[in-house]
Chains A and B, each alone.
Chain A
Amino acid sequence: MSGRMGTTAGSEGAFIEVDRVEKVFDVRRRKGLLRRERHQVRAVDSISFTVARGEMVGYIGPNGAGKSTTIKMLTGILTPSGGRLRVAGIDPSRERTRLAHRIGVVFGQRTTLWWDLPLIDSYKLMHRMYRIPDARYRENLARLVELLDLGDLLEVPVRQLSLGQRMRGDIAAALLHDPEVLYLDEPTIGLDVVSKTRVREFLRQVNAERDTTVLLTTHDLQDIEQVCSRVMVIDQGRLVYDGALAGLHEVGESERTLVVDLERECPPVEVPAPARVVRVDGPRQWVAFPASEPAAALVTRIAERYPLVDLSVREPDIEAVIAQMYAERAGRAPTRSPQSS
């Protein structure tokens, strides 16, 4: 995985600059027969970040957190209510079409292809629309068709494609014109495991070969783990974390689990806090300990005092980490559940 760390806001030459951007919606709800209640929803509440060229960034958050709204502002679909937003120095709300030439977008839940036409017709149309030089179009098309295995699908109308096939078609469409940045909004939703792996692999390849910046929103944290070096977490319109994936564990105070198999049934092993035994099942015990601490010390201590037969370390479930983060922000007590198999 390539990718450099994000630089602090306001630095020169950042590819994507988001500076205290807000998006406020007026929501009217009908109360009773005639009265209407108006209130404002801050879908995006003063977010700031920058993304350097060639970075692969994940953008995660609960539903309604503002992920899609941010992507829509970056791509020019929505205009911000406040703040400053620039992509490659261009303001998406003012120069939508000029920017469109340089970006590629993949929507997980909608297609960018023409539904009733064969796949190849969509590509031909994009060839003309994006004014791609003929030679480069042929070259890109051939390469993308091979990498994404679209050869047999080119003559098939898009509406007859399976979800996985359509997604691959959408990705090819987004990259046909060699965009400098690729936005993906929930690209792996509904895909089977094999397809997901292929898509992730492909994204890494594209980034490595063409230095394409990638911004990916997703609910599937595996996407983040396998593709991105940096992750931003958004919740209720605010950025609550922006940094390396590894750092997320520290912030989330996540725990790893040491699963020890003893020779015989024993009472819960004594371990120094904050480590603690969370589950006992016959000779097997689960010991939770902070993810930031090395396991070696704990292992040694247990091996010295107890008849240890076998052990394994379970990494923290990142889903649980995130869920915990959301829960903490919502004011609920963080729950520490034993890491199940």
Chain B
Amino acid sequence: MVEGLRAYRMIAGMWVRSGMTYRTSFVFTLFGNLVLTGMDFVGILLMFSQVDSLAGWSLPEVAFLYAASVTSFGLAHLAAGSMPQLGTRIRDGSFDVLLVRPVPVLAQVGGDRFSLRRLGRVVQGGAVLGWALVAADVDWTVAKVLLVPLMVVSGAAIFVALFVAGAAFQIYAQDAAEVQNAFTYGGTTMLQYPPAVFGKELVRGVTFVLPLAFVNWVPAAHVLGRPYPLELPGWAAFASPLVAAACCALAGLAWRTGLRSYRSVGS
């Protein structure tokens, strides 16, 4: 684990230093990334230009959901954004090279093509978050104030776990890599909207089976003082870190299994 983090830092660092050689271009691509990823919020703004609320949630409240989801996803994408391309690596034979190096494979996959340009999404999400926290009518308590960063970081960890699971999936099915998008991009999109929008079964699935709801829905319901569509204990709002840890553990297991299978079956 420690070895892996060290290797990850090393590799990511190299990519950052290498990318920094073109200063002006970096700012441009960061801005471009910001605009690109921000189009989703433009969509929400357009919606609210026509309606006053969505399933009873106001624009600042929806913006809060959006910002939390997108900031978490942005952080995860920054940390592990090249994992979805693992299938391509396996297909072109460059995966084997990773197994010959004296560092954990997952760290190499994670650090590959690390790019600070991906911060664009985080910046845009953070900006909207700032606005939403002010504009929404929140009954602030100390617990709620702490819950916001806790929620964003845990959410990022859950998305990272999703990316890792996606990487493990690609070991078995390189060509079906697009399935990941349904969960990663689909997940972050779904979480931008209030849970009340979706069918009960879907909410149940996303709370208990694939716990994306703990990225922002469950904690946000508590912060905004809104009821959650399902019966959950009061402490559930603070359970995100636990959920994130469990997801990461499971994802790690999936990865180890996948890697073992690759070394047994080849490519």
Q: Which residues of A contact B (CB under 8 A)?
A: 25-26, 69, 72, 75-79, 93, 96-98, 100-101, 103, 105, 107, 109-112, 114, 116-118, 121, 124-125, 128-130
**B266, CB-defined interface residue at 8 Å:** yes
Bound form: Cα–Cα A105–B102 in Å: 12
Taking the nearest CB of chain A, how far is it from the CB of B99, in angstroms? 5
B100 touches A110 (CB 8 A): no
User: Which residues of chain B are near A103, meaning CB under 8 Å?
Assistant: 100
**B7, CB-defined interface residue at 8 Å:** yes
B263 touches A78 (CB 8 A): yes
Taking the nearest CB of chain A, how far is it from the CB of B89, in angstroms? 10
**Which of B10-18, B22-30, B34-42 is the contact stretch?**
B10-18
Chain B, residue nearest A76 (CB): B99
Taking the nearest CB of chain B, how far is it from the CB of A179, in angstroms? 11
Chain B 90-105: CB-based contact to A (< 8 A → 1; otherwise 0): 0001101101111110
Given A77-B96, A105-B100, A107-B96, answer yes or no on A128-B10 (Cβ-Cβ < 8 Å): yes
Chain B, residue nearest A98 (CB): B102
Taking the nearest CB of chain B, how far is it from the CB of A318, in angstroms? 29
Bound form: Cα–Cα A97–B103 in Å: 6
Chain A, residue nearest B103 (CB): A129
**B3, CB-defined interface residue at 8 Å:** yes
**B50, CB-defined interface residue at 8 Å:** no
Given A26-B265, A107-B97, 19 other A-B residues pairs in contact with their CB atoms under 8 A: A72-B266, A75-B99, A75-B100, A76-B100, A76-B263, A77-B96, A79-B260, A79-B263, A97-B3, A103-B100, A107-B96, A110-B96, A110-B97, A111-B94, A117-B18, A121-B14, A128-B10, A129-B7, A129-B10
Chain A, residue nearest B21 (CB): A118
Question: What does DSSP make chain B's interface, helix, strand, loop or mixed?
Answer: helix
A97 touches B104 (CB 8 A): yes
User: Which residues of chain B are near A26, meaning CB under 8 Å?
Assistant: 265
**B264, CB-defined interface residue at 8 Å:** yes
Residue among B17, B96, B100 making CB contact with A100, cutoff 8 Å:
B100
User: Which residues of chain A are near B17, meaning CB under 8 Å?
Assistant: 121
12 A-B pairs (CB sep. < 8 Å): A77-B96, A77-B100, A78-B264, A78-B266, A79-B263, A107-B96, A110-B93, A110-B94, A112-B100, A121-B17, A129-B101, A130-B102
Bound form: Cα–Cα A246–B124 in Å: 70
Bound form: Cα–Cα A95–B265 in Å: 18
Taking the nearest CB of chain B, how far is it from the CB of A149, in angstroms? 24
Interface residues of B in 102-147 (CB under 8 A from A): 102-104, 113
Question: What does DSSP make chain A's interface, helix, strand, loop or mixed?
Answer: mixed
B265 touches A25 (CB 8 A): yes
Bound form: Cα–Cα A103–B99 in Å: 12
Chain A, residue nearest B105 (CB): A96
Chain A, residue nearest B17 (CB): A121
Taking the nearest CB of chain A, how far is it from the CB of B109, in angstroms? 13
Interface size class of B (residues with CB under 8 A): 20 to 34
User: Which residues of chain B are near A114, meaning CB under 8 Å?
Assistant: 14
Residue among B10, B97, B104, B266 making CB contact with A125, cutoff 8 Å:
B10
B94 touches A77 (CB 8 A): no
Chain B 71-95: CB-based contact to A (< 8 A → 1; otherwise 0): 0000000000000000000000110
Bound form: Cα–Cα A112–B15 in Å: 16
B3 touches A93 (CB 8 A): no
A111 touches B14 (CB 8 A): no
Bound form: Cα–Cα A248–B100 in Å: 32
A77 touches B263 (CB 8 A): yes
Taking the nearest CB of chain A, how far is it from the CB of B120, in angstroms? 20
Taking the nearest CB of chain A, how far is it from the CB of B95, in angstroms? 9
Bound form: Cα–Cα A8–B20 in Å: 55
Chain B 137-180: CB-based contact to A (< 8 A → 1; otherwise 0): 00000000000000000000000000000000000000000000
User: Which residues of chain B are near A130, meaning CB under 8 Å?
Assistant: 102
A109 touches B93 (CB 8 A): yes
Taking the nearest CB of chain A, how far is it from the CB of B130, in angstroms? 35
The 6 closest A-B pairs by CB, nearest first: A100-B102, A77-B99, A101-B102, A97-B102, A105-B100, A79-B263
Residue among A79, A107, A109, A117 making CB contact with B14, cutoff 8 Å:
A117
User: Which residues of chain A are near B100, meaning CB under 8 Å?
Assistant: 75-77, 100, 103, 105, 112
Bound form: Cα–Cα A77–B260 in Å: 10
Chain A, residue nearest B266 (CB): A78
Given A97-B102, A130-B102, answer yes or no on A79-B264 (Cβ-Cβ < 8 Å): yes
User: Which residues of chain A are near B99, meaning CB under 8 Å?
Assistant: 75-77, 96
Chain B, residue nearest A127 (CB): B10
Given A72-B266, A107-B96, answer yes or no on A100-B101 (Cβ-Cβ < 8 Å): yes
Taking the nearest CB of chain B, how far is it from the CB of A92, in angstroms? 10
User: Which residues of chain A are near B97, meaning CB under 8 Å?
Assistant: 107, 110-112
A129 touches B94 (CB 8 A): no
Taking the nearest CB of chain A, how far is it from the CB of B260, in angstroms? 8
Bound form: Cα–Cα A118–B17 in Å: 12
Residue among A25, A109, A117, A121 making CB contact with B266, cutoff 8 Å:
A25
A125 touches B96 (CB 8 A): no
Highest count of chain A CB atoms <10 Å: which of B3, B10, B18, B101: B101
Taking the nearest CB of chain B, how far is it from the CB of A257, in angstroms? 41
Bound form: Cα–Cα A116–B14 in Å: 12
Taking the nearest CB of chain A, how far is it from the CB of B174, in angstroms? 16
Taking the nearest CB of chain A, how far is it from the CB of B257, in angstroms? 14
Chain A, residue nearest B264 (CB): A79
